[in-house]
């Protein structure tokens, strides 16, 4: 069996800065045909998107998919609410975990898996300001170490 390739469409770096990602899930997305064509051209943004569970179904809000140029009347609203496709036991598990204080569900990546559009969602706990400062300090230290290593190897 051939290994299916993943072609990344859009990522959400902000999610990793704002939250601790504790668990990841892969979900399908219910889309219209012109939306898929627009995604194939990479016209998607999930930076401002958020996910909610409503009556046992998972929805993503504020995910922006630009209208397809040749789509005319078949184009949908760019920021419409879209349904995410998960197994019932995964939805119940997520519902139980977000009932705890401080947990939420955030979109991490959207990609093609074969010919299907998939979204990686994460169960996340919000970071405090001091956690963000620690992450920034670690990145700065790593960047400085890489810079010193690069300078040493030049001479």
Task: Report the DSSP beta bridge partners of residue 113.
Answer: 6, 116
Which helix (H) or strand (E) covers residue 110, if one does? strand 103-113
For residue 68, the tally of other CB atoms under 10 A from its CB is 21
Q: How far apart are CA 16 and CA 25, in angstroms?
A: 15
> Strand pairing partners for 125?
20, 103
pLDDT at 59: 92
Q: How far apart are alpha carbons 120 and 107 in whole angstroms?
A: 6
- pTM here is 0.74
Distance CA 78, CA 75 (A): 8
| Per-residue model confidence (pLDDT) at position 3 | 61
| Segments in the chain below pLDDT 50 | none
Spatial CB neighbours of 128, under 8 Å, sequence gap ≥ 6: none
What pLDDT is recorded for position 155? 64
CATH 2.40.280.10 fits 6-127, yes or no: yes
């Amino acid at each position: 069996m051939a290994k299916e390739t993943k072609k990344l469409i859009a990522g959400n770096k902000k999610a990793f800065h704002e939250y601790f990602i504790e668990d990841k899930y892969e979900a399908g997305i219910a889309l219209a045909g012109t939306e898929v064509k627009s995604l194939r051209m990479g016209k998607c943004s999930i930076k401002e998107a958020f996910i909610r569970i409503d009556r046992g179904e998972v929805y993503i809000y504020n995910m922006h998919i630009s209208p397809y140029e040749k789509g005319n009347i078949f184009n949908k609203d760019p920021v419409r609410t879209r349904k995410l496709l998960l197994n019932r036991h995964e939805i119940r598990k997520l519902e139980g975990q977000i009932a705890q204080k401080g947990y939420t569900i955030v979109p991490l990546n959207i990609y093609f898996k074969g010919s299907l559009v998939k979204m990686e969602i994460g169960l996340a706990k919000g970071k405090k300001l001091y956690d963000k400062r620690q992450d920034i300090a670690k990145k700065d230290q790593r960047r400085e170490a890489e810079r010193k290593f690069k300078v040493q190897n030049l001479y």
